[in-house]
Amino acid sequence: MSTRSILGLIYMVQGLKQLGEDPGPVLRRHGLDADRLDPSARIERARELRIYADLADQLHDPMLGLRLGGFYGLAGYGPLVMLIMTCANAWEAFQMGVKYQRLTYLFGTLRLAPGERLSALVLSPMAMAPNAFRFRVDGEVSGTYKMVRDMQATMGLDIHAERIDMPYPRPPQAAEYEAYFNAPVRFGEPEARFWLRNEHLQLRFPSADPAAHAMYRAMCDQQLQTQQAEEAQAGMAERVKAHLGLFNGEFPASEDVAKALGLSERSLRRQLADEGHNFRDLLADARHAKARHLLAHTTLAVEAIAQQLGYAEAAAFIRAFQRWQGMTPARFRQRPTQD
């Protein structure tokens, strides 16, 4: 399973605390201690995203995601930030950011969309449950914005966005977004975009250094190779179950899961078949795992758990759980030792 630096999670935890929130209970449910996270450790991407989804369920301020972007430190990007700053100009820098985006804290995917007058840095967000989607998109957009602005401040440049697009309906706090980004913000778009003037992208970086750039690129290539080797060892069935585990209520269809994993639906089904699995059974496994977790670690009523698992009524969930576990949810909860 793919892993990455736990620094992104640490920045988020620090930010939530400074904003008056307590991430401790959610972290403890995932076996983590907010005060004992090791900055040198690595965390599975899927596990980290589950933590973000769980946090989104308990947060009440819809602006927290946007504000959290300000807590991501520039130094935390390691060799990547030096690779970008030693580029010849902003266009090359954005190309490097896209190429090595797996070394950032993003879960969505970046690409460049060139235009005649304006070009866009595009962020395609990962599909998540609705209550977590805005929280995560805001964090990724504001975190990317802060990274770019911090590097510009270091180099004495001003490459600002002409407009920013956001991939969800216009919220009541729309004016706060424009004040935060100091640019017009358009909501209801299919993807997040930073629109930039082409002449700004040709500005030469004062820190351009071809020799140092080659050194940092080799370091980033090594980090990518390590990640790819880890992913090659993870089976497709485990990747699918990990993704399904991020959802409450309505689960995504196989087509949506395939898209999130960068595959066609046909390729996904073929790879699962090669491993002896099918999507329907994996969805049942994901529901079973989530049911055990909710029964063991929460006091939610069976009816509420049924809703989180996508069942219209509790009776259907109880019958399914009996097939999976050989006992009713109530009896499972009464066991002295739970999963």
User: Environment class of residue 262 by beta-carbon count within 10 Å: exposed (0-12), middle (13-18) or buried (19+)?
Assistant: exposed
**What per-residue confidence (pLDDT) applies to 337?**
61
Nearest Cα to Cα of residue 6 among 41, 35, 49: 41
Place of tokens 């300000």: 70
Tell me 301's DSSP state.
Answer: -
Q: Are 320 and 302 in contact (CB under 8 A)?
A: no
**What per-residue confidence (pLDDT) applies to 339?**
54
Q: Are 181 and 141 in contact (CB under 8 A)?
A: no
Three-state secondary-structure class, residue 60: coil
**What per-residue confidence (pLDDT) applies to 325?**
93
Tokens of residue 202, six digits = 């040709």
d(CA 79, CA 61): 34
**What per-residue confidence (pLDDT) applies to 338?**
53
CB atoms within 10 A of CB 153: 11
Q: 119 - beta bridge partners?
A: 196
**What per-residue confidence (pLDDT) applies to 318?**
96
- Tell me the per-residue pLDDT of 72-107, one tens digit each, with 9 for 90 and over: 988 889 999 999 999 999 999 999 999 999 999 999
Cα 189 from chain centre? 19
Q: Are 254 and 279 in contact (CB under 8 A)?
A: yes
**What per-residue confidence (pLDDT) applies to 129?**
82
Place of tokens 């190309």: 95
**What per-residue confidence (pLDDT) applies to 31?**
73
CB atoms within 10 A of CB 223: 17
- Tell me the per-residue pLDDT of 264-284, one tens digit each, with 9 for 90 and over: 999 999 999 999 999 999 999
CB atoms within 10 A of CB 158: 10
Query: Measured between alpha carbons, how far is residue 291 from residues 6, 147, 300, 328 in Å?
Result: 27, 39, 11, 11
Beta strands in the chain (DSSP E): 3-5, 42-44, 109-113, 118-124, 163-165, 185-186, 192-197
Q: Are 185 and 163 in contact (CB under 8 A)?
A: yes
pLDDT, one tens digit for every residue, the chain (339 residues)? 577 888 999 999 999 999 999 999 998 887 778 888 878 778 878 778 889 989 998 888 999 999 999 899 888 899 999 999 999 999 999 999 999 999 999 999 999 999 999 999 999 998 888 779 999 999 999 999 999 999 998 898 888 899 999 999 999 999 999 999 999 999 999 999 999 999 999 999 999 999 999 999 999 999 999 877 776 767 889 888 877 876 777 788 999 888 877 789 999 999 999 999 999 999 999 999 889 988 988 888 999 999 989 898 999 999 999 999 999 999 999 887 655
Query: Measured between alpha carbons, how far is residue 20 from residues 15, 59, 120, 211 in Å?
Result: 9, 11, 35, 45
